[in-house]
Amino acid sequence: MTAPDTHRAIDAVWRIESARLIAGLARMVRDVGLAEDLAQDALVAALEQWPQSGVPDSPGAWLMATAKHRAVDRLRHLKMAERKQEELGRDVEIEQLAQPDLDAAIDDDIGDDLLSLIFTACHPVLATEARVALTLRLIGALTTPEIARAFLVPEATVAQRIVRAKRTLAEAKVPIEVPSGSDRDPRLASVLEVVYIIFNEGYSATAGDDWMRPALCEDGLRLGRILAGLAPREPEVHGLVALMEIQASRSRARTTPSGEPILLLEQDRGRWDQVLIARGLAALDRAEGLGGALGPYALQAAIAACHARARAPEETDWERIASLYDALAQLTPSPVVELNRAVAVSMAFGPAAGLELVDALVSESSLDRYHLLPSVRGDLLAKLGRLDEARAEFEDAAALTRNERERALLMERARAASR
């Protein structure tokens, strides 16, 4: 194998193994930052040795063994307590180096290394931006430049977020574990929020020149699938995976060959990915099969399923979608949910009914800079023949969005309302 081939193999191994490697090390050293440093040391060793010796048969085991020995050396170098050295050294000698099974089921309150790392990276003590960056770094195996490009922020900003996040976790003495009891639900909600933020930024980019960033969609979906394998008895995890699978199924139909957005009702449904739809519907069935009332992600997945099951836009069950939004509004009331409910009501019962709900949101201060409010209002006004008002709303929406593709679409709709 040539040196370039070896380096490509190392990169592939790192993408696959790094999260499990860091997770196992974090359990040993009880420090996320130190665990990542040790994992990076093992990566450097691989880059130095594998081009000469070849990629080992069990590269993940090799990296873990190397990192553990580096951990012992680091702890000795730092002159930690002799008892701790002996315990860790003994652990290195006797612990099996087999790669952990990502799909192994876990009991509700029994920690798994990787699941523990996910909960730690998404701990509420961190700001949302820090949780997202740290999760992509530790679990998604993205580099700092890759994260920066994905979110259109400077590399230095991302680097600072990651460094501060690790410092905050250490200073707060956050345990690297799967929370139990009353802590479990709010912590799980934080994890799901981070995964969906990552996916959604790829699905509908908030800024920049592209309508979608498929790599971020893939990262979010991959994280969700990992989480579902690790926490198979959590209905909301399956609900989130179902939502992302179904939304991702539309990716090929959401843009023209040159990148312009195509709205949902105008998409060629023959281009929707039926494999992803089937996976999403199966995940929704699992969420529903675990019993209890549907959570917010499962409800949104049920809404997405209504679209996925309709072979044509006119076959969409808008009354069911409106009722699902009613349930979502009761569970997680917010102006954004109400805006989406208004769209569903307009499709089920006419634009005048929807406009009445939208007009009630105009004075909502939290939506002052939310471009979809004037966009939806413009659409409803256009359907009612109030074209001058519609044009003004589309222009307002175009001025508010930070996505260039979306701005162009909204300005085209404003021009169409003037004809």
Residues 262-317 pLDDT 10s: 999 999 999 999 999 999 999 999 999 998 889 999 999 999 999 999 999 999 99
* Distance from C-alpha of 357 to C-alpha of 336, rounded to nearest angstrom: 12
Residue with tokens 């873990």: 64
- The reply to whether 83 falls in a domain is yes
The pLDDT, as a whole number, for residue 205 is: 77
CA distances from 378 to 313, 338, 382, 416 (A): 20, 16, 6, 11
- The reply to whether 10 falls in a domain is yes
The pLDDT, as a whole number, for residue 112 is: 75
The pLDDT, as a whole number, for residue 87 is: 56
Q: What total of structural domains would you count in the chain?
A: 1
CA distances from 158 to 5, 130, 146, 177, 230 (A): 30, 8, 10, 25, 28
Per mean pLDDT, which of 80-94, 250-264, 382-396 is the most reliable?
382-396
Which residue, 312, 118, 288, is CA-closest to 126? 118
- CA dihedral sign of residues 110, 184, 279, 292: positive
53-62, 89-98, 168-177: least confidently modelled range? 89-98
Which residue, 112, 119, 92, 159, is CA-closest to 32? 119
The string of DSSP codes covering 407-419 is HHHHHHHHHHHH-
- Residue 100 pLDDT greater than 70, yes or no: no
Instruction: Name the band, by pLDDT with cuts 50, 70 and 90, for residue 346.
Output: very high
Q: For residue 348, give the DSSP letter.
A: H
- The reply to whether 76 falls in a domain is yes
- The reply to whether 190 falls in a domain is no
- The reply to whether 229 falls in a domain is no
Residue 261 burial (C-beta neighbours within 10 Å; 0-12, 13-18, 19+): middle
* Distance from C-alpha of 373 to C-alpha of 293, rounded to nearest angstrom: 30
- Residue 108 pLDDT greater than 60, yes or no: no
Give percent of the chain above pLDDT 70.
91
Q: Token pair for residue 80?
A: 């930690």
Which residue, 327, 224, 209, is CA-closest to 258? 209
Predicted TM-score (pTM) of the model is: 0.81
- C-alpha triplet 78, 79, 82: angle, nearest 5°: 135
- Residue 80 pLDDT greater than 60, yes or no: no
* Distance from C-alpha of 167 to C-alpha of 213, rounded to nearest angstrom: 30
- The reply to whether 87 falls in a domain is yes
- The reply to whether 9 falls in a domain is yes
Which residue, 292, 199, 187, is CA-closest to 243? 199
Rg of the chain, C-alpha, whole Å: 24
Q: Token pair for residue 214?
A: 């498929």
Report yes or no: 277 and 309 within 8 Å, Cβ to Cβ.
Answer: no
Domain that holds residue 80: 3-94
- The reply to whether 22 falls in a domain is yes
Instruction: Name the band, by pLDDT with cuts 50, 70 and 90, for residue 13.
Output: confident
pLDDT in tens, 114-167: 889 999 999 999 999 999 999 999 988 888 988 888 787 899 999 999 999 999
